[in-house]
Amino acid sequence: PETLQVKPSAEAFAPSNIALCKYWGKRDNALNLPVNSSLSISLGHLGTHTRLALSDSGEDKVLLNGKEQALDSPFAAKAIAFWDLFRRDQILPIEINTTNNIPTAAGLASSASGFAALTKAINEFANLNLPIDVLSAFARMGSGSACRSLFDGFVEWEMGQLEDGMDSHGIALEASWPDLRVGLVKVETGEKAVDSRSGMKRTVETAHLYQSWPMQAAMDIQKLRQAIADKDIDALGMTAEHNAMSMHATMIASWPPLLYWQPASVAVMQNVWGLREQGVSVYLTMDAGPNIKLLFEADQEAAIKAVFNDMEVVAPFAS
Ligand code: 2P0
């Protein structure tokens, strides 16, 4: 719309998500259009709550977990730039109040749930009444993986073909899997890693191995769809773990090399593989950081917790 009519305040929640087939590499850096489609699971009540209000001071104001952020901090700058896409030339100073309930112990990134919640809150705040696939495409412009956090459960992000990206958004899969569990295993982090945005750019530009990635991702999405339809944890876990390791192989094959793993990440992997050798159906996935996420069903939880005592467990389909 040309002129926004805003409410005094509005709020929204969006879940965090973990990709089982990863988004890695863009065909358009400005619009966050991906090289490949991806598939994720949303984390239920774990995510971001965002409240928007007109700012009484007349200045933009950004709070993260109750703490005011400098407007030139990366977090505030990105959030305000996103609001600028909507308010354009209108004088609409905003207060953005963002709270993440993702356990900090889990070491999960929050840009996906953050931009999804901000998009939903703006839709309310400015009475936009946009359909969810359009909201998803907007959230994608904030952060690619955010387009998947508009939905619960399993979500496919269709890469799309249009130049304006309006067909590149999340779609919820009609599936429920009450026994599915996601375990969050924290690994001690050293210095700050390379962020995903520059990491994927480096991989696309320098890793010859990356040429094989789009084909693997396309095959893995097919396998994941079948595993979800069959509720086959071994097929799901194997595909997700293989996909994550393949993505990390392309990162390692970049120059300069991009290795998000810490020694402790490798120790966790070896423990997961050890559990599998003992007959426990548990699989791992990793994103652009050293922490490990596990995939398993409820009946295996006790055996896995015996090895990973402080693992946080999420039931994505719990009501
Ligand atoms: C994913 N990651 O599918 C992949 C796996 C990290 C590794 O989506 O540049 O923060 O904002 O579009 O969405 C993280 O990338 O990157 C991510 P931008 P984003 O979950």
Global pTM reads: 0.96
Helix axes 111-125, 132-142, angle to 10 degrees: 130
Q: Is 287's C-beta closer than 6 angstroms to any atom of ligand 1?
A: yes
Q: Is 196's C-beta closer than 6 angstroms to any atom of ligand 1?
A: yes
Q: Is 177's C-beta closer than 6 angstroms to any atom of ligand 1?
A: no
CB neighbours of residue 130 within 10 Å: 15
Atom of ligand 1 nearest to the CA of 145: 13
The CA 25 to ligand 1 mean position distance, Å, reads 9
d(CA 93, CA 96): 10
| Ligand 1, pocket-test mutation among 27, 75, 143, most atoms within 8 A of CB | 143
Atom of ligand 1 nearest to the CA of 200: 9
Q: pLDDT over 90 for what percent of the chain? A: 91
Mean pLDDT of 84-88: 95
The CA 23 to ligand 1 mean position distance, Å, reads 6
Atom of ligand 1 nearest to the CA of 23: 3
Kindly report, residue by residue over 134-187, the tens digit of the pLDDT: 999 999 999 999 999 999 999 999 999 999 999 999 999 999 999 999 999 999
Mapped onto helix, strand or coil, the DSSP state of residue 149 is helix
| Sign of the dihedral defined by the CA atoms of residues 278, 281, 286, 290, in that order | negative
d(CA 163, CA 82): 20
Task: Tell me: pLDDT of 114 over 70.
Answer: yes
